[in-house]
């Protein structure tokens, strides 16, 4: 059944900055499947599957749901380069829209997202899925994140099947690509979660840092410690269960930059409500310390 569905796709040609790529007419209206979306602007692209998106003052690192790039080895390097160039031409410094399945973060605190960008098709502005575009043009593999079948699972499978049967991109080679490994999702974190501690690190772009987050309470005695590292900007997420509701806790966040004289701001939020924020200063040029004693939050 899946094969017949894939073969029945109606291919259309899109022009992305002078490069012709294939898409399916059946995919054009899929944005309507998502009631809620977040609007942002792509600030940086690491590779075709990973990018930084500014959503207001929030700067999450986004990983495209289901997209698995081949490893950087022959004969797949040209496809990796083409995929990155395609995403740069389509997305960089552009307004985009992000939608999600049941899980919003992976265990590296990346946003797991379908990413959409506007495109004028036959005189009408439509939304194109970057995820589906990469898969259908054979520039990546599609691997589901979990056993949970997301809203676009069937369409991602169809796009992959179309690329494979037509031997497009990586599927034109005689060997199957070994794809990159990705962090697993936070299996307990769902879009409806109301107990999320987030630590946002902003400042001088691309500055490397490391440190830790420590949250603990005396009753019942519980402590969560997470080592963190990354490059600015980045967001780290810790999930809290219902036992933390209305409980007093101590929070310590210590972050060091790897280079002297860099600007850095560390902000702690629970349920997107501000807890504390601090920046590097003249007496601590390479580190930020947040410490809250007997803090408390409520879901009300």
C-alpha 263/C-alpha 23 separation (Å) is 43
Q: Would residue 174 be called left, alpha or beta, if left means φ above 0 and alpha means ψ between -120 and 50 degrees?
A: alpha
Average pLDDT over residues 196-216: 87
C-alpha 53/C-alpha 45 separation (Å) is 9
CA dihedral 186, 189, 195, 196 (to 10 degrees): 50
C-alpha 66/C-alpha 113 separation (Å) is 9
* CA-to-CA dists, residue 284 to 107, 227, 264, 293, angstroms: 30, 20, 11, 21
**What ranges in the chain are assigned the alpha helix state H?**
2-7, 77-91, 130-136, 153-165
Question: What is the reported pLDDT for 57?
Answer: 64
DSSP states of 215-259 as a string?
EEETTTTEEEEEEEEEESSEEEEEE--GGGTT--EEEEEEEEESS
SS3 for 2?
Answer: helix
Instruction: Provide, rounded to the nearest whole percent, the portion of the chain with pLDDT above 70.
Output: 88
Element (H, E) at 117: strand 111-121
| Position 22 confidence tier, pLDDT thresholds 50, 70, 90 | very high
**How remote is the C-alpha of 30 from its chain's centroid?**
19
Token readout for 229 is 């590292």
SS3 for 280?
Answer: coil
Full-model pTM: 0.67
- pLDDT, tens only, 234-280: 888 887 877 887 788 899 999 998 888 888 889 898 877 788 888 88
Residues facing residue 39 across a β-bridge: 97
SS3 for 113?
Answer: strand
- pLDDT, tens only, 37-88: 999 999 889 999 999 898 876 777 899 999 999 988 899 999 999 999 999 9
């Amino acid at each position: 059944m899946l094969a017949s569905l894939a073969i029945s796709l109606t291919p259309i040609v899109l022009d992305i900055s002078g490069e012709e790529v294939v898409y399916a007419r059946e995919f054009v209206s899929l944005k309507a499947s998502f009631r809620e979306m977040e609007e942002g602007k792509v600030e940086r692209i690491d590779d075709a599957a990973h990018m930084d998106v500014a959503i207001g003052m929030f700067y999450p690192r986004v990983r495209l749901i289901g997209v698995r790039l081949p490893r950087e080895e022959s004969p797949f390097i040209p496809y990796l380069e083409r995929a990155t160039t395609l995403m740069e031409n389509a997305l960089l410094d552009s307004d985009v829209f992000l939608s999600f399945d049941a899980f919003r973060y992976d265990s590296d605190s990346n946003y797991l997202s379908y990413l959409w960008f506007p495109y004028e098709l036959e005189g009408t502005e439509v939304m194109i899925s970057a995820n589906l575009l990469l898969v259908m043009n054979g520039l990546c593999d599609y691997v589901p994140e979990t056993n949970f079948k997301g809203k676009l699972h069937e369409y991602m499978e169809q796009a992959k099947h179309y690329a494979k049967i037509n031997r497009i991109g990586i599927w034109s080679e005689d060997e199957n690509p070994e794809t990159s490994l990705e962090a697993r999702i936070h299996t307990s974190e769902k879009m409806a979660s109301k107990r999320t501690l987030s630590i946002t690190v902003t400042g001088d772009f691309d500055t490397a840092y490391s440190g830790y987050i420590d949250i603990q309470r005396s009753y019942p005695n519980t402590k969560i410690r997470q080592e963190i590292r990354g490059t600015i900007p980045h967001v780290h997420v810790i999930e809290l269960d219902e036992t933390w509701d209305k409980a007093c806790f101590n929070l310590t966040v210590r972050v060091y930059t790897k280079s002297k004289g860099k600007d850095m701001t560390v902000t702690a939020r629970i349920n997107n409500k501000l807890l504390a924020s601090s920046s590097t200063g003249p007496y601590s040029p390479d580190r930020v310390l947040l410490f809250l004693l007997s803090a408390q939050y409520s879901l009300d």
